[in-house]
């Protein structure tokens, strides 16, 4: 199959449908591969010299280590002048996370740079 045919919308390898861009299923025993999104049918002969390679990498047991507190997202945010309610230290890093539905505000997590105490501030709920 020529990937640059005139009615094609996408120039790509045969991993993707040339009309809609969706991922094509792997060829099976049938004479054609059909796109599950738009229904375009491609003859299996067009896949004859296509090579699919996969690999799996196993790490040695015990080589993975957990992230330390300094490497986590709570210490990668900006530091602001906020007093820790546990130790009284002035200066807390913060990061935000969407914890509820998308139409509600994000929750702000504050982490003390001194004692690592984590507190959160929830946005006001709209009623």
* Annotated binding residues for Zn(2+): 17, 20, 35, 38, 84, 87, 112, 115
Residues 6+ apart with CB under 8 A from 10: 16, 17, 18, 19, 20, 21
Q: Which two tokens stand for residue 35?
A: 């796109």
Q: Which helix (H) or strand (E) holds 121?
A: strand 118-121
**Residue ranges of the binding site:** 17, 20, 35, 38, 84, 87, 112, 115
Cα dihedral 26, 30, 34, 39 in deg (nearest 10): -160
Strands (E), 40-106: 41-43, 79-83, 90-97
């Amino acid at each position: 199959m020529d990937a640059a045919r005139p009615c094609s919308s996408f120039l790509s390898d045969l991993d993707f449908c040339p009309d809609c861009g969706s991922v094509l299923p792997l060829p099976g025993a049938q004479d054609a591969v059909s796109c599950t999104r738009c229904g375009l049918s491609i003859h299996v002969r067009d896949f004859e010299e296509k090579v699919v390679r996969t690999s799996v990498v196993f790490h040695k047991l015990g080589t993975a280590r957990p992230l330390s507190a300094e490497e986590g997202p709570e210490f990668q945010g900006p530091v602001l002048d906020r007093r820790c309610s546990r130790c009284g230290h002035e200066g807390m890093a913060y990061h935000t996370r969407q914890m509820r539905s998308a139409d509600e505000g994000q929750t702000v997590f504050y982490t003390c740079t001194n004692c690592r105490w984590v507190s959160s501030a929830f946005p006001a709920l709209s009623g």
